[in-house]
Structure 1
Amino acid sequence: MSRWDGLDEFVAVVESGSFARAAEALHVSSSHVSRQVAALEERLQARLLYRTTRRVSLTEAGQTFFARCQRLVEERDEAFLTMGDLQNAPAGLLRMTAAVAYGERFIVPLVNDFMADHPQLRVDIELTNRTLDMVHEGFDLAIRLGRLNESSLVATRLSPRAMYLCAAPSYLERYGRPHTLSELGQHNCLIGTSDVWLFQQGEREHQFRPSGNWRCNSGQAVLDATLRGFGLSQLPDYYVVDLLQKGSLVSLLEANQPPNTAVWAVYPQRRYALPKVRLLIEALKSGLALRPEYRCERAD
């Protein structure tokens, strides 16, 4: 009996959430998966999974063992891929995540273009505004916006991301234009996903907590409310650059604009060795550079 026996089945059950889905992913029977996991528990003299008719969950021992096993299985599979014919072509399953609105508008179309060139690739894209645990949840790649938190993950910058404080001319005609950061508190602010707006004040970063009578966790909805003259908003360049050039919106407090943040591709370090991850990142970087929303005058 190999020490690998049961590991693939155990990892598949945890990642898929059921014995039936694990069996489907591994192209074996559910009874085979059950036997292999049971034999693994017997060999370890430890219970790894709680089983009910509705769900499967990890025991405390199972949580510890799964964290190690998942890395072992991934690194084994990647070692074979690196040495095989797949080294030169994207193939297999690529799991990635991105924010909902940005993913729909920018990322998914570029991924679809990439897949059209590499039909042997399979993708599983989860669009969510939650920051997912990439390693624990088995993602190869995440697209993240703005500033990154410290982590063990590697990040590649895909494009700049400038933030603009703006308002519709109709709002400014009624309520006037703020000329300093201290005047922002006198204005109705349209609040999106962030409770804090960032600005540059000399050499320091200034944080402003907006308040107003309107809030929505959609950038497109914030933009619509801004165009209707409901208040001030702070939005990324790809929402507003064209509208600023047309005069539909007015850029405010330009001397206090925060330094560019960015759009990032984030991934576990070892994943970059895989062609499916490395080449997709390059395709995303090239594709975003061609988008008209990013062709603004701000320095990169």
Structure 2
Amino acid sequence: MRCIARSQSVSNGAIMDWDKLRIFHAVADKGSLTHAGDVLHLSQSAVSRQIRSLEESLGVTLFHRHARGLILTEQGELLFDATQAMNKRLDAATARIRDSEEEVFGDLRVTTTIGFGSIWLAPRLPKLYQSYPDLRLHLLLEERVLDLPMREADVAIRMKEPSQADLVRKRLMDIRMQLFATPAYLEENGHPQSLHDLGAHRLICQNIDSTQVSAGAGLVRELLTYDIERLLTVNNYFGVLQSVLSGLGIGVLPDYLQQDFPDLVQVLPGTESNIVPVFLAFPEELRGSKRIEVFRDFVVEEVVAYRKAKRAA
């Protein structure tokens, strides 16, 4: 009976005390009582009292106190993981609550790769904003796969099928990595007629050890077997594109860019990577979100227009 009573005491006194948990999370996030107080609009002494009270009710020390700030103890790390997950779930709930059935407004965090986000998605966003000017879009462009169920982002466009559970997913299109150069570069340096001719040119590509689609890395490995001495590597496709547009050489780039950069010339048309599937995904819990719905529909419409233009070319 004592154990049960203690558990209830802790539950009612600490775990269910949302104010203390909110203050604890702010202190852990900022690493300082003063900075947390600034965010919460509380005095340092008030923040300190709440942290002491939480530690007493739990019977543990949550922070190591140092002159340079606060460091979480092992128990503090466990509690911070829990409050972080709670905050993300609350953000998701808030997003759903704020979504009106007829209006679209507020924040939407979209994650995708640097190349796709900067070359394909960003130039098309004016159409989205024309219809939904109050939508606040946050593009998270990086090669790292963000955790959608843990709310690191609201929606993702990925260059492979997501493996995480509880995601709504839609296959948007297939792309391939190909070789491109500018007309001016080819006029000055000649058109390669075979892969063996690439040895006379500078190859621009992602480093095979950098984060990228496996099909792209596979194509680069194959090209490097042809004794290419002049090489420029960049850690994302946007950098590769800019280098190619500057006339530095022949670049390994996704085929979707040719529609927006029609002056680029495809080199050795038979040389390309395996198919790279492009998926849009978002957490199941956001299925009813109006912001997700309009963004998904916008992307699908743009993909359909892209496919039609590609077939007509």
TM-score, L = length of structure 1? 0.67
Q: Would the alpha carbon gap of residues 25 and 252 (structure 1) be closer, same or farther in structure 2, given more than 3 Å must change? A: farther
Match of 2:204 in 1: 190
**Counterpart-to-counterpart distance in 2, 1:86 and 1:11:** 26
After superposition, what is the alpha-carbon deviation per residue over 1:237-282, rounded to whole angstroms, capped at 9, x for unaligned?
3433354x55x413424364421432x4444443444444444333
Q: Would the alpha carbon gap of residues 150 and 285 (structure 1) be closer, same or farther in structure 2, given more than 3 Å must change? A: same
Match of 1:241 in 2: 259
Instruction: Report the number of matched residues.
Output: 288
Match of 1:286 in 2: 301
Matches within 5 A, 1:136-215: 138-141=151-154, 143-147=156-160, 150-152=163-165, 154=167, 155-168=169-182, 170-171=185-186, 174=189, 176-179=191-194, 188-192=202-206, 194-195=208-209, 207-208=221-222, 210=224, 212-215=230-233
Structure 2 counterpart of 1:241, which letter?
Q
Match of 2:132 in 1: 117
**Counterpart-to-counterpart distance in 1, 2:246 and 2:98:** 56
- Asked if 2 retains the 8 angstrom alpha-carbon contact of 1:241 and 1:293, the reply is no
How far 1:54 moved relative to its partner?
A: 5.2
Unaligned runs of 5+ in 2: 1-12
Matches within 5 A, 1:73-152: 73-75=87-89, 78=92, 84=97, 86=99, 88=101, 90=104, 93-100=107-114, 102-104=116-118, 106-107=121-122, 110=125, 113-114=128-129, 117=132, 119=134, 125=138, 127-131=140-144, 133-134=146-147, 138-141=151-154, 143-147=156-160, 150-152=163-165
**Counterpart-to-counterpart distance in 2, 1:293 and 1:55:** 55
Match of 1:219 in 2: 237
After superposition, what is the alpha-carbon deviation per residue over 1:15-67, rounded to whole angstroms, capped at 9, x for unaligned?
56655665566566655544433322222222334455655543322232233
Unaligned runs of 5+ in 1: none
Identity of aligned residues (%): 22
